[in-house]
Structure 1
């Protein structure tokens, strides 16, 4: 295995694939022999040439910042000698590039649940959704009682409580946004049945409003599969809730998987706890998967808008048309305006963990993050809380926060979320969350977190590993449980702005 990689012929830095001691000779094609003049940690960058103060540092074929001092050939390149080039808002113009032709059609199928509205789920889950946060704690005893009667989750694949903290005391814009996400969750194609719990004693009449919103969005409610529990109207909400869960369990007993085309896949693309290898291994692997799904007529969704800053022009150049380009510009500028409205620096990124893993600037991080999108055209842009309308690659308005962004992808109807990580995380959203490690170290250290090890790319070709990964994703879509499902790790987080009363 080589101990370093140069990602583009134009790069002025290499990336260490393993810890490299001082004095190691790196044999390169275009830069000759480069001797490291200090120890280099896995995932960190090495100068391939002398870089003058003020000159751009090139990685992925693009500037990732500028040198803040003279950097010697073989020196460690990181936050002590490089800074971002980004500042303020930018002006953009549509300069489309030729997007590679779509790949070959694949005849494989996955085994999914066809819903009456035409959507396809990859799970037949029971969702228990509190309309207000004050009844969230009711969910734990309900789940405990149900699982005591049905240790294997009854006729469901998973029992998923969607606990949150929002209520009618929440400022109106936040509460309305939260309610929209909860309505989205109730209509998620992975939901075989839903119990919606409310307090039932408020002037807002939150359960009635929830019913109205569901009917507006999805037509008449199937009362066999969607139940409403009002705590205020029940003498024993646990007993009444459990009775409703039993009715829902009975309603799905005849549901079964049937062969579905890969065009029905809708997959979220996310990363968190990234390191210097995320943009080398795990994120490009997701990019391959994204291009494959798009070629089959399926859909992938890329979110985390702040982690597009510095690489947004690459996405803009792949917009399918002027209208989509304009949507991307609005997506980027709207999020920058949001930062400014709350007096936050736009480009204060990456995180301390990212830096420890070898990521130096926001451009460095964003160019690695956007590798998840592959090379396909950007076909649509979704606002927060929107459902997918267009096949192919979509961009989604959501923050860099892992929990909020992943939940937004699930609420957009992604049946699963692929989550790359270099430093690891136990987090999962409420749909199957596939953790893909950028390195084998974290995969071996955290086998209960990591589902697929992209660090295998150190010893295996991208073509070979991508074939295995695609089959793995088809298996997950067909029922293979992810680690978060095995260990009952599920969650939802909702985007919030402003104050809390």
Structure 2
């Protein structure tokens, strides 16, 4: 088929291949060359008329559009959304699975379960980043060969921690990230490294979250240790002492309910909302049926689809929390002289996405169909099960950092253009939206959801495939991004507020 229609009420269809002028499409003929993944008008639309896809509004005609025209940024404009929100009107309670699925993970003393067993070096400030990297670099594969149950020693460094207010959104978000990584179930040991005079004091974090030092949780700062060289030497010694303890951890059979999966997309194209995202949504429904958790994020990338999520909110309070986030982001972009339609990116547009509304409707499909059971701040511990939402920017590394800090022990990342992304300590499963890119970037993609179009595989079959891969990866199977060594530079805490 040359095109896909997603709903009978849509005013466009999407080309599955590049269409030349004069190609028949639903009783009309194309009036321009239509690139693969781009939209064709199936009816005339006057200037100002709504443009519809997924049976939803994706923009307004910025000029008169004729049937057969190419519909894209040159003739579609964005406007801020105005919805009469409904709450809890589309609740589809999940039926518990008849079978209890399992994976082999690391049971921690606090009852949480890890899918990996890393030792983490977490920095409080950019000034201690070099020390952390030098410590981690000492622990090469040759050094770690004696500790087969330890996946590696990772330095989580960032560019902030000072020059910031000692209270407010930015400070609290950074502290939540540090706490989340310090207590993450994928870590068998943690060393926190600071400078000593920074605004983001490690001691404040320990006091605020009740963290206590132990053989597998240590802290230090460069000024007290007396310089970079001595700090690196001491850090190496501390981790050497942790390694035998962390290596004692063994994988044991655990229920799938202990999985918490970050639902992500990046480098999206027109097929994201047709293939990979709905398939991941079905996998999210399967997680919910097991009592596990899926965490959707990227608040700017549900803009224009939030009304569909409020209908799924378990109660009015949960829906109101989501709308409050939307209003915050509208204000945030306005006072910074930006626009919610700054996203999609140039690559997204080349792939056929025209407005943030269109992108968001596709992105929201990653959350499946079950009730929205919780809405959380950036990097806040996710305490609800089933489908949940976390506030974050649309910038993938910052968003995933928050989800991992919130407790996600796996990440699933859908992509149409071909994102090179991976994460630690939670491994990333990458899902291609189209088979052409999946073949071209076969060393990067774990799952080809493009087969939904190229081979007629159902969304449900592909969702089942993704879910089964979750269980295998959680049990230790290496993902493509892990094999490529990704994840050491994707730790990016969201920097909110003024840099002073």
TM-score range normalised by the length of the shorter chain: over 0.9
SS of the residue 1:405 aligns to: helix
Q: Residues of 2 paired with 1:93 and 1:110: CA distance? A: 38
SS of the residue 2:342 aligns to: coil
1:29 maps to which residue? none
Q: Residues of 2 paired with 1:64 and 1:379: CA distance? A: 27
Cα offsets for 1:201-224 (capped at 9, x unmatched):
x276933223323426xxx44x12
| Correspondent of 2:428 among 424, 433, 450 | 433
Q: Count the aligned residue pairs.
A: 489
1:142 maps to which residue? 135
* CA 1:239–1:295: 2 relative to 1, 3 Å: same
Q: How does 1:115-126 map to 2 (within 5 A)?
A: 115-126=108-119
2:492 corresponds to 1:497: no
For the 8 Å contact 1:5–1:15, the answer to whether it is kept is: yes
| Correspondent of 2:107 among 102, 114, 128 | 114
RMSD (Å) for aligned C-alpha atoms: 2.1
For the 8 Å contact 1:410–1:429, the answer to whether it is kept is: no
Q: Residues of 1 paired with 2:358 and 2:178: CA distance? A: 35
| Correspondent of 1:393 among 374, 387, 396 | 387
Alpha-carbon distance, 1:51 to partner: 2.6
1:197 maps to which residue? 193
2:325 corresponds to 1:328: no
Cα offsets for 1:318-347 (capped at 9, x unmatched):
111122122222122122222233333334
For the 8 Å contact 1:68–1:82, the answer to whether it is kept is: yes
Q: How does 1:177-326 map to 2 (within 5 A)?
A: 177-200=173-196, 202=197, 206-215=201-210, 220-221=212-213, 223-234=214-225, 236-326=230-320
Q: Residues of 2 paired with 1:319 and 1:6: CA distance? A: 28
Alpha-carbon distance, 1:91 to partner: 5.6
- Output the TM-score relative to the length of structure 1: 0.92
Q: Which runs of 5+ in 1 are unaligned?
A: 27-31
Q: Residues of 2 paired with 1:446 and 1:110: CA distance? A: 28
2:85 corresponds to 1:92: yes
Q: Residues of 1 paired with 2:16 and 2:190: CA distance? A: 46
2:120 maps to which residue? 127
Q: Residues of 2 paired with 1:276 and 1:287: CA distance? A: 17
SS of the residue 1:117 aligns to: coil
Q: How does 1:42-121 map to 2 (within 5 A)?
A: 42-86=36-80, 92-94=85-87, 96-99=89-92, 101-102=94-95, 104-121=97-114
Alpha-carbon distance, 1:408 to partner: 0.7
* CA 1:203–1:332: 2 relative to 1, 3 Å: closer
1:22 maps to which residue? 21
For the 8 Å contact 1:17–1:277, the answer to whether it is kept is: no
2:458 corresponds to 1:461: yes
Alpha-carbon distance, 1:365 to partner: 0.9
Alpha-carbon distance, 1:44 to partner: 0.7
SS of the residue 1:9 aligns to: coil
Mean Cα deviation higher: 276-285 or 51-60: 51-60
Cα offsets for 1:354-397 (capped at 9, x unmatched):
11110111211111110111111111110123101111111111
Q: Residues of 2 paired with 1:106 and 1:74: CA distance? A: 50
Cα offsets for 1:416-472 (capped at 9, x unmatched):
111111112223333212221111222222233322221121212223222222111
Alpha-carbon distance, 1:48 to partner: 2.0
* CA 1:84–1:213: 2 relative to 1, 3 Å: same
For the 8 Å contact 1:166–1:175, the answer to whether it is kept is: no
Alpha-carbon distance, 1:316 to partner: 0.5
2:8 corresponds to 1:9: yes
For the 8 Å contact 2:281–2:369, the answer to whether it is kept is: yes
| Correspondent of 2:152 among 129, 135, 158 | 158
For the 8 Å contact 2:37–2:271, the answer to whether it is kept is: yes
For the 8 Å contact 1:403–1:428, the answer to whether it is kept is: no
Q: Residues of 2 paired with 1:457 and 1:74: CA distance? A: 26
Mean Cα deviation higher: 419-428 or 129-138: 419-428
For the 8 Å contact 2:88–2:313, the answer to whether it is kept is: no
SS of the residue 2:119 aligns to: strand
Q: Residues of 1 paired with 2:225 and 2:184: CA distance? A: 28
SS of the residue 1:269 aligns to: strand
* CA 1:314–1:203: 2 relative to 1, 3 Å: closer
Mean Cα deviation higher: 39-48 or 338-347: 338-347
SS of the residue 1:232 aligns to: helix
For the 8 Å contact 2:86–2:311, the answer to whether it is kept is: no
Alpha-carbon distance, 1:152 to partner: 4.7
* CA 1:103–1:363: 2 relative to 1, 3 Å: farther
For the 8 Å contact 2:78–2:355, the answer to whether it is kept is: yes
Alpha-carbon distance, 1:107 to partner: 2.8
| Correspondent of 1:487 among 484, 487, 496 | 484
Alpha-carbon distance, 1:147 to partner: 1.0
SS of the residue 2:268 aligns to: coil
* CA 1:423–1:204: 2 relative to 1, 3 Å: closer
Cα offsets for 1:155-211 (capped at 9, x unmatched):
3123221111123333324344313211111111111111111223x2769332233
